[in-house]
Structure 1
Amino acid sequence: MALSRKSNSQVPKTIPYPADDGLASHLVGSSIPTELTLVSTQQIPVKLSELPGITILFCYPRTSAPGETVKERWNNTPGGRGCTAEVGSYRDNFASLKELGVSTIYGLSVQDTAYQKEVKERMGLPYDILSDDKLEFVKAMKMPVLEWEGTSLTKRCTLAIKDGKVVHVWYPVFPPDENPSQVAAWLKATEQSG
């Protein structure tokens, strides 16, 4: 099954590759805190520690607002550009990932729920986005962050969570719009091995 490559935004070929700084190496095997609750774009509280099956949580820095001009500095920030393309790629490949055994897919950023709700509606997303605007998830899991204009943003990192534990991590994620294909390859390999 080939995954789709269309998305709302093209990722420029010239964006810099983010280096693996080792800031996600502690995540595999770690447990999601049971008390941690995040709010989804449906205004529903979500406890990642309690979700059944395999949850794919792709964390990204920020999506642009409608009509926002992307700053050249952002284009040149390793791991910065490509969030909208990644979000769109998960939309385009949602059904394929579900067929491969994923129970739930969530995006996560530090943007607030109202901002994320606009993104969900504008892009026609079949999954919800979780807001970590208070950095509770980032701090609890010691997630890698980047600083942008005085704000801490989540670096692009994808977690496979099963029974409240992180079982696989993709970091750094590059190119952003190909992350669903990377997840699909892991799911197929996991299914074949066992």
Structure 2
Amino acid sequence: MAADQNFVQVDWSKLPVPEDDGGARHLAGAAVADVALPSTAGDEVSFARLSGRTVLFVYPMTGTPGVALPVGWDAIPGARGCTPHACAFRDLHADLTAAGAAHVFGLSTQTLAEQQATVERLHLPFPLLSDAALRLATAMALPTMAVEGKTMIKRLALVLDDGLIAHAFYPVFPPDRNAGDVLAWLEAHPR
């Protein structure tokens, strides 16, 4: 558990704050592309086909205990904090569903095996999805960054209503407050 604490306890004041580069400006009001992604629940999920309200939080990559983060990770604005981001959604999951979220998902470009390990390690009550092939990221022109030769999706959160993006949170900082911001938005915008 001590290794997990290194990923969860972060001094946000020592990290660069991401600026709004406009990378998500086009998302609010858009229909989600009909792209099926593999889920840690053992199925595939297409946000375009989900009914009801869906909360999707997107992150570059979660750390793995015993595996070094990419070189310079903390210096990349918005990179650090994926584990606290996921844990905050875990901790507020019941509140999010009580506020109208029929579905909650996390998504990154990590492999399904990496996502499954994260679900188990962090005891997440919702599935994680893998966009390792960047199919959704490309179809929706999601904001990305290149780190050590890998393309990763920048941190954001979306509220979807029946396949349409009702609201986009971007940039997200600090990550551990995003779930609370999403919850406040859900409570202020009931369906």
Taking structure 1 as the reference length, the TM-score comes to: 0.91
Confirm or deny: 8 A CA contact 1:56 1:106 kept in the other structure: yes
Shift of 1:71: 5.2
1:169 shift after superposition: 0.2
**What does residue 42 of structure 1 align with?**
41
Give the counterpart letter for 1:58 in structure 2: F
Q: Deviations over 1:120-172 (max 9, x none)?
A: 01110000000000000000000000110000000001111111111100000
State the identity as a percent: 41
- In structure 2, how many angstroms separate the alpha carbons of the residues matched to 1:12 and 1:68? 20
In structure 2, distance between residues paired with 1:138 and 1:88: 23
User: 1:177 Cα shift?
Assistant: 0.5
Per-residue deviation, 1:12: 1.9
Superposed CA RMSD: 1.7
What is the CA distance between 1:11 and its match in structure 2? 2.4
Q: Any residues of structure 2 matched to 1:149-168 within 5 Å, and which?
A: 149-168=148-167
Cα deviation digits, residues 1-51 of structure 1 (max 9, x gap): xxxxx9x702222111100000100001111123x1001012201111111
Judge conservation of contact 1:40–1:130 (CA < 8 Å) in 2: yes
Equivalenced residue count is 186
**Number of the residue aligned with 1:27:** 27
2:82 corresponds to? 83
* Poorly superposed stretches of 4+, deviation over 2 Å: 68-72
Once the two structures are superposed, residues 167-188 of structure 1 have per-residue CA deviations (whole angstroms, 9 ceiling, x without a partner) of 1000000100000110011112
Matches within 5 A, 1:24-173: 24-34=24-34, 36-70=35-69, 73-173=72-172
- Aligned to 1:121, the other structure's residue is in SS state helix
**Structure 2: tracts of 5 or more residues without a match:** none
Structure 2 contact 70–147 (Cα < 8 Å) conserved: no
CA distance in 1, matches of 2:158, 2:28: 8
